[in-house]
Structure 1
Amino acid sequence: MYLVMHPKDPEVSVRLADEGFAPYVWGNDFSFDVKAYAHVDQNKKVEHWPLETITPYRKCYGIDPDEFASYLGGADSAIFMAYLDGEAVGHVVVSTNWNGFAHVDELAVAARARRYGVAKSLLDVVKFWSLKKNLPGIMLETQNNNIGACRLYERCGYQVGGIDRLRYRGIDPQTREVAIFWYLLFE
């Protein structure tokens, strides 16, 4: 299916996921190019984090819609889908974490639909959902190889709350991926 983009005035809408969630996931590419690993410095803005450039590679997390089937219609969870000019191009999975924060379990935007405000629109809906539930804030995690996501979270007011250098060593003992935990605290 061909998606016509209107960069000057894209129409982004977000609504609760429905039976179209699984076909949308299976039909999209959520991968991204990795060109560097950031050395996270909680005292500096993302743009000032030192970067270790690497031989570029394509990263894909292998999203499985069945993993989140129980989130549909749950009292403490939700899946929202984003549409750009009427076509499904992004989603966010959110739940209430054990510590009372809203937890973004997954946020993804189809590769062809990035830089149109889709991810920000999804984060705005998560914020609305969280405030409606009187939660103290939102937490999420990304990695030091997803520098674009780090920039987005910082622009949206999130702050680094923690770093875990060992989180992915069970998957790959040689990995240089570092988990970065971001928080948006409500006043």
Structure 2
Amino acid sequence: MHLVRNPKDPEVSVRVADEGFAPYVWCNDFSFEVRAYARADRHKKVEHWPLDLITPYRKCYGIDPDEFASYRGGKDSDIFMAYLDNQPVGHVVVSTNWNGYAHVDELAVVVSARRHGVAKSLLDVVRFWSHKKNLPGIMLETQNNNLGACRLYERCGYQVGGIDHLRYRGIDPQTSEVAIFWYLIFENTNS
């Protein structure tokens, strides 16, 4: 059987990062638009979180590939890159956290490649990596101003395990940015 692909739905592939990781990071835009700060509630779905609307602005975390140089091919860490039709468009950095969970240290998708399943494909690889290492689950952190990421994690089965209102106050004592810790707990580490 031959599959016919829709040109609006390019093929996503994921592989272990190679020496092209740093140039790819330096040459791409991973920013996103912030329009609101959500009042996260671990007992409600993201769509029901109250929003404090703000004047929109672009947020960029300033990704530094050198920060993760030792993660590539490590015993307890790795970096994976996603490609759309052989063009690098996303990456995930994963390690084994002190508590035994896989920890997504960074997940980013190039602005122009969003809404094509790239982030979900990267999370699927993290899940496979975690199962292969017999870890009990995956954890990651995002913020209450990155609602697209929050919705993605919820759709992928993650649950809010904690909300930290003080994490970013050292950077800006007046910030409304709140850290949200998401977990995907595996029912059975052998599945």
Tell me, yes or no, whether TM beats 0.5: yes
* SS of 1:168 mapped into structure 2: coil
* SS of 1:149 mapped into structure 2: helix
Runs of 5+ in structure 2 lacking a partner? 1-5
* SS of 2:37 mapped into structure 1: strand
What is the CA–CA distance in structure 2 between the aligned matches of 1:26 and 1:107, rounded to whole Å? 15
Structure 1 residue aligned with 2:117: 117
What is the CA–CA distance in structure 2 between the aligned matches of 1:131 and 1:47, rounded to whole Å? 30
* SS of 1:92 mapped into structure 2: strand
Runs of 5+ in structure 1 lacking a partner? none
Q: 1:185: Cα distance to partner?
A: 0.2
What is the CA–CA distance in structure 1 between the aligned matches of 2:38 and 2:7, rounded to whole Å? 32
2:181 matched to 1:181? Answer: yes
Structure 2 residue aligned with 1:16: 16
What is the CA–CA distance in structure 2 between the aligned matches of 1:102 and 1:72, rounded to whole Å? 15
What is the CA–CA distance in structure 2 between the aligned matches of 1:81 and 1:111, rounded to whole Å? 15
Q: 1:6: Cα distance to partner?
A: 3.2
Equivalent residue pairs, number: 182
Question: After the TM superposition, which segments of 4 or more aligned residues of structure 1 sit over 3 Å from their partners?
Answer: none
TM-score of the superposed pair, with normalisation by structure 1: 0.96
Deviations 1:8-60 (A, max 9, x none): x3100000000000000001000000000000111110001001100000000
* SS of 2:184 mapped into structure 1: strand
What percentage of residue pairs aligned between the two structures are identical? 84
Deviations 1:50-88 (A, max 9, x none): 011000000000000000000011010000000001100
TM-score of the superposed pair, with normalisation by structure 2: 0.94
Q: Which amino acid aligns with 2:7?
A: H
